[in-house]
Structure 1
Amino acid sequence: MEEIIGSGSAAPLGSYAEAVEWINGLIPFGIRPGLERIELLMEKLGHPHRKLKFIHVAGTNGKGSTCAFLTRALLESGYSVGTYTSPYITKFTDRFQFNGANIPEDTLMELACVLHPLVAEIAATELGSPTMFEVSTALAILYYATVCYPDVVVWETGLGGRLDVTNIVNPVVSIITNVGHDHTDVLGDTLELIAAEKAGIIKPGVPAVTCATQPEVLAVLKAKAAEVRSKLYVAGEDFSVEEARIEDGLQHFAFNGPFRTLPVAIAMKGEHQLANASGALMALEVLRQYLAFMLDDEALQKGFRNTFWAGRLEEASQSPRIVLDGAHNPEGAEVLAQSLPKFYSYRRLNLLMGMLSNKHHESYFKHILPIVDTLILTEPDFRKKMDAEDLKRIAERLRGQYAKDHLEIIVEHDWGKALELLQSKTAAEDLAVVSGTLYLISDVRGTLLKQPDSEKGW
């Protein structure tokens, strides 16, 4: 790292806080799909990403959980692992992890100082300033390629795949968890269009794995894999989850793959986690079979059993019982509605939710309204929040067709007061759930777990 930082000039950023403020200050440049700026940044840095082995993970839901499974299993197997994910739920440094630990604040500041003048140079060209996510991604690459040198980097896309800034890398295996309706304002408003964007991470000759199930989505993914001569392993065709059951608080299943069958147990709740775990395991099987990764059965099984991912059916309070789940799109809502009665017993279900303004809220409510007794609508502390009154109008319009007769709908714009209301309304035999955007989950989680200095962001 010292060679890259150089000497003789004063550091443009004097502290971790200044570095984070600078990076977040690029947010107004927005989301601009395209690789021109990150390619130029990598060129100026000597293409450090070419030194690393990446597992590239895209998909509508389940990316974070899949990255968590991969990271834990590889760590248990003796590999050093970098993990780059977003959004972060506790602290900005969460997104840059090495062996399960966040990047040190001083290291982040030093790497930001390397990038600062380069970003200014690019901003002065016709390309315009690199975005917050582009600079974060470049910082992650610098961290892994010049500071800690992991054996493998688990690499989550930010948005889509084809034009996502993370697509600068050439991975050893790609994973597309699933395809659903999310970010339709950027990726397109049909499953085929969204699938085409996700399929952009499938690279020539690089094996890929998917847990997508819709015929129209699979047609797009298979066509892309055939075009670039990549072997695509498809859930339900090339690998599957068999004999799933819940026992001793764990989900047990048999992973049936093209090379062997392996019994696995996971602590992560929800049927969707079986799909996420099987997709991660299929990718690891590819590494074991074709890239000579040493992955002992016992280490793999221990890794999957010990995987945890914050804000996914996470019980953050016991009195009253409060479960956090970042379901924020129709597919996530459907899974949440299916999972709650499977894993919890309760008399009444009270749900607090807040959303951003760019989501398919009507489809979300169609899954949630039938199971809820009290619905508290609030607003996340985030610039793109949706007005809770607008959410209520949608819920009221659907009430007659989907909701229980006695459903109570309450609007409380202040999320802190809404949380207090949720707590007061939830008796010992009831269950409270906080759902919606992860920006709300992050704040509620910080409050419940007494982490007042927690940060959040994309």
Structure 2
Amino acid sequence: MFHSYEEALNWIHSRLRFGIKPGLTRMEMMMEKLNHPEKQIKTVHIGGTNGKGSTVTYLRNILQQAGLSVGTFTSPYIEQFNERISVNGKPISDEEILTLANKLHPIVEEMDKMEIGGPTEFEIITAMSFYYFAYMHKMDIVIYEVGLGGRFDSTNIISPLLSIITSIGLDHTAILGDTYEQIAFEKAGIIKKDTPIIAAVKQKEAQAVIVKQANKMEAPIYLLDKDFTIAGYHSKSTTESFNLMSPFFKWEDLQITMFGKHQIENASLAVIGAEHLRDQFVSINDESIRKGLLLSRWPGRFEIISEEPLVVLDGAHNEEGIEALVDVLVNRYKGKKKKIIFAALSDKKTDKMITKLDQVASTITFVTFDYPRAADCRTLYKESNHPFKYQNTDWKKAILEHMENIEKDEMLLITGSLYFISEVKTFWKNFKK
């Protein structure tokens, strides 16, 4: 039995040594031992390569504005571990994490001795969330973000009211496959029988896989640019504005405060999702949709942490994420020289990411950080062809040096791995003090 939050957290993190073990058998066993909490909550399931977290927060805010209590399960965390299980956007308490760990610990110890093997860190956290929302804090609805892939992800034991697939990109290729079709097949694994699926998948070959699986599961499917379309998109000083149309409704001048066309697409998925949930929750109205979008923020996604000088954090951790980031930089910050600090994980394909950053950077500095899979800054440095490229094993020192020398016509962009962005957020809080 654990007696403190720290003990509980250390135990949970110790399960990282089991790595990633795709499959649902261990989850199903834990659910059976917990009396199937996953069957006692209403859920929405959100998968995809990029945009999952943003789509979660758009939909959460819409539902909250409609007066609903909304739970969320997301990963990774940015500032605090407890964020992964949240109630109306607020992380659960340390005491609740302790209670959950003590509930799961004997079950995990028992499974460790079985042939099936013990659960991973992510499986334990997922099981904790199911138990929490079923027995400790009942919610009107819980939004589950897929951790990795979809078909064999530990969240994929739910029977949701609605499923959403945000996008398909070439990420985690060693596990999910190295083609859009293969990755789409894994993501499409969250499609359930007779359950509406909404998707913003663009590649034709990936889209075909999604549609085929939806048809197989007799699931109504709604595709961006086919069943609903975005129009009138334009950037304002502090917002993005767009119209959203389908055969059933037309929304004009919807506004969000997260920048980029990719965020418009994420927001549109949330709106279509909310429209589908109106039958279940009659309190969802037009005002809740508009206000929910406008109030949505998601840490680490083009997050402006300083206005003067301009400092931005963005967890662009794959090629598609970098493309979206570069698009915002080019369209919104033409007059700014862009000093970039970049860190990544060693299992990512970073060459194309770095090439794209090279094209917009005035200077680019590669750093490493304290994480088991963090890439060496020297490796990243070699992949860059920028005339003003630098490397630094001390990322905190790199940030401080940039802050000391930044000019009025410059901005500092800190980007790359979300695990890195998480560390920077903690550092920045102390730096501001």
TM-score (norm. length: structure 1)? 0.92
Question: Are 1:302 and 2:288 an aligned pair?
Answer: no
Separation in structure 2 between the aligned mates of residue 329 and residue 87 of structure 1, nearest angstrom = 15
SS at match of 1:149: coil
Residue 105 (structure 1) shift: 1.0
**Distance of aligned partners of 1:187 and 1:17 in 2 relative to their CA distance in 1, 3 Å threshold:** same
Instruction: State which drifts further: 249-258 or 276-285.
Output: 249-258
Is there any run of 5+ residues in structure 1 with no aligned partner, and where? 1-11, 454-458
Amino acid across the alignment from 1:28: R
Separation in structure 2 between the aligned mates of residue 424 and residue 213 of structure 1, nearest angstrom = 42
Question: Are 1:285 and 2:259 an aligned pair?
Answer: no
Amino acid across the alignment from 2:82: T
Indicate the residue corresponding to 2:50 in structure 1.
Answer: 61
What aligned pairs does 1:1-20 form with structure 2 within 5 A after superposition?
12-20=1-9
Question: Are 1:257 and 2:237 an aligned pair?
Answer: no
CA RMSD of aligned residues (A): 1.4
Indicate the residue corresponding to 2:172 in structure 1.
Answer: 183
What are the superposed Cα offsets for residues 302-343 of structure 1, whole Å, 9 maximum, x if unpaired?
010000000111111233211110001110111111101322
Separation in structure 2 between the aligned mates of residue 232 and residue 360 of structure 1, nearest angstrom = 32
Amino acid across the alignment from 1:178: S
Indicate the residue corresponding to 1:99 in structure 2.
Answer: 88
Separation in structure 2 between the aligned mates of residue 52 and residue 181 of structure 1, nearest angstrom = 32
Match of 2:397 among 417, 431, 434: 417
Residue 452 (structure 1) shift: 10
Indicate the residue corresponding to 1:271 in structure 2.
Answer: 261
What are the superposed Cα offsets for residues 211-261 of structure 1, whole Å, 9 maximum, x if unpaired?
111100100000000111001100000111111122341111111123211
Amino acid across the alignment from 1:449: K
Separation in structure 2 between the aligned mates of residue 252 and residue 319 of structure 1, nearest angstrom = 25
Separation in structure 1 between the aligned mates of residue 399 and residue 116 of structure 2, nearest angstrom = 44
Instruction: State which drifts further: 23-32 or 336-345.
Output: 336-345
SS at match of 1:205: coil
Counterpart contact for 1:205–1:228, Cα < 8 Å: yes
Amino acid across the alignment from 2:397: K
What aligned pairs does 1:201-280 form with structure 2 within 5 A after superposition?
201-263=190-252, 264-280=254-270
SS at match of 2:241: strand
Instruction: State which drifts further: 40-49 or 244-253.
Output: 244-253
Amino acid across the alignment from 1:277: A
Counterpart contact for 1:419–1:444, Cα < 8 Å: no
Residue 345 (structure 1) shift: 4.5
Question: Are 1:438 and 2:408 an aligned pair?
Answer: no
* Count of aligned pairs: 432
What aligned pairs does 1:331-342 form with structure 2 within 5 A after superposition?
331-342=320-331
Indicate the residue corresponding to 2:119 in structure 1.
Answer: 130
Separation in structure 1 between the aligned mates of residue 124 and residue 67 of structure 2, nearest angstrom = 30
Match of 1:155 among 107, 121, 144: 144
Instruction: State which drifts further: 305-314 or 419-428.
Output: 419-428
Counterpart contact for 1:180–1:331, Cα < 8 Å: yes
Separation in structure 2 between the aligned mates of residue 373 and residue 275 of structure 1, nearest angstrom = 29
SS at match of 1:312: coil
What are the superposed Cα offsets for residues 128-158 of structure 1, whole Å, 9 maximum, x if unpaired?
1110000000001111101111111010010
Match of 1:328 among 317, 327, 330: 317
Amino acid across the alignment from 2:356: H
Is there any run of 5+ residues in structure 2 with no aligned partner, and where? none
Residue 101 (structure 1) shift: 1.4
Residue 369 (structure 1) shift: 1.1
Question: Are 1:362 and 2:342 an aligned pair?
Answer: no
Amino acid across the alignment from 2:424: V
Separation in structure 1 between the aligned mates of residue 233 and residue 21 of structure 2, nearest angstrom = 42
Instruction: State which drifts further: 358-367 or 157-166.
Output: 358-367
Indicate the residue corresponding to 1:83 in structure 2.
Answer: 72
Question: Are 1:37 and 2:26 an aligned pair?
Answer: yes
Separation in structure 2 between the aligned mates of residue 221 and residue 234 of structure 1, nearest angstrom = 10
Indicate the residue corresponding to 1:3 in structure 2.
Answer: none
Residue 451 (structure 1) shift: 8.1
